[in-house]
Structure 1
């Protein structure tokens, strides 16, 4: 490729297939993960494993992150043995954060990185595990135009498109808009499945019945089977939706934006957590709504 070495922190459900796409595209990739086994699993694909983020920062020109939350991002970048922990010989010039974290946290982290001469691109993704596996993710990017332009060819290994939405934090704000739509839609699908079941119709046939109509969507086709059948592998936990919706609520408060639907979804997710469903698949909304009626077993 162009001779740049890439680093990647966080080879999880999303990160691992993204790394494999980078390797197949011919990039040299160094990988780090808090749980070493997940990084080592990529050696067979051609990745090299770094012992710490700091080691990775001395070897890579661009480092990509895909971790759980803002605290994890801060720890990976500025914590002990972090990418920018003040150690000599740091090579990295740009950090691309694919994590979904609050916009204001992103801006604070970017300011700290700028003191090291490192550009920050917040680049959350949409498309789920399937999009990562198929290389068809949608990426919404925030940062300086030159930085976004410089990393776009790299991101093209696993993204169908990269859209520059504005300065640092704009990508994260766009992801919040995405998650407001996604979480509300999945909750609505669960309500529809619940109504179908209680009305005595075959809920599993909803995608077929609604195909081509206004209710048809990727989410409908993805989640009705997951809500009506067993045997699917998890594509994400409800606690992740909870984190995102809590962040949406904070952004709405900061901007004075009325978001009554997201507020209802937030309470539904809190109920799920109270029921012990934090680790349930995204489709677990249906488990909250399908509580037995009086007189039912």
Structure 2
């Protein structure tokens, strides 16, 4: 059944393990967004045009889903909605970690930095 709607099927464990993996995936995406926003900020401060820089980064070893989604799926017209959904995802991630007795504060804060910087990043790259 799973192969009918997914190219990859990986058994991760008991019921709920897939949902937990999805939380980790989303948290990592948001942490990557934070790194991209910081990189773009530094480049801008060096007076580099961030738009072609991001395009070059997409082609090199720094390529990631977080980069490839910028101005394709994540655009000025939907970034506010996506940021709100991401903030909820980070809250769910933090809640799941705390319920497991794990302090995920550094990862949660880094992910939230990516969430909060996404709107400015997308608008900076579409200007």
The normalised TM-score by structure 1 is 0.35
Deviation, structure 1 residue 252: 1.8
- CA offsets per residue over residues 6-26 of structure 1, 9 Å max, x none? xxxxxxxxxxxxxxxxxxxxx
Deviation, structure 1 residue 262: 2.0
Aligned ranges for residues 133-212 of structure 1 at < 5 Å? 151-153=1-3, 156=4, 158-210=5-57, 211-212=59-60
- Contact 1:176–1:244 (CA under 8 A) maintained in structure 2: yes
Structure 1 unmatched runs, 5+:
1-150, 273-281, 291-297
- Give, in whole Å, the separation in 2 of the partners of 1:162 and 1:285: 35
Partner of 1:248: 93
Deviation, structure 1 residue 257: 2.6
- Give, in whole Å, the separation in 2 of the partners of 1:184 and 1:159: 25
The normalised TM-score by structure 2 is 0.73
Q: CA RMSD in A?
A: 3.0
SS at match of 1:162: coil
- Give, in whole Å, the separation in 1 of the partners of 2:76 and 2:84: 18
Aligned ranges for residues 207-222 of structure 1 at < 5 Å? 207-210=54-57, 211-213=59-61, 215-222=62-69
Query: Is 1:263 the counterpart of 2:113 in the alignment?
Result: no
- Give, in whole Å, the separation in 1 of the partners of 2:100 and 2:88: 19
Larger radius of gyration: 1
Structure 1 or 2: larger helix share? 2
- Contact 1:187–1:285 (CA under 8 A) maintained in structure 2: no
- Contact 1:186–1:283 (CA under 8 A) maintained in structure 2: yes
Deviating above 4 A after TM superposition, structure 1's stretches of 4 or more consecutive aligned residues are none
Deviation, structure 1 residue 203: 0.5
Deviation, structure 1 residue 267: 6.1
- Give, in whole Å, the separation in 1 of the partners of 2:11 and 2:53: 36
Structure 1 or 2: larger strand share? 1
Pick 1 or 2: higher relative contact order, CA cutoff 8 A, min separation 6. Answer: 2
Q: State how many pairs are aligned.
A: 119
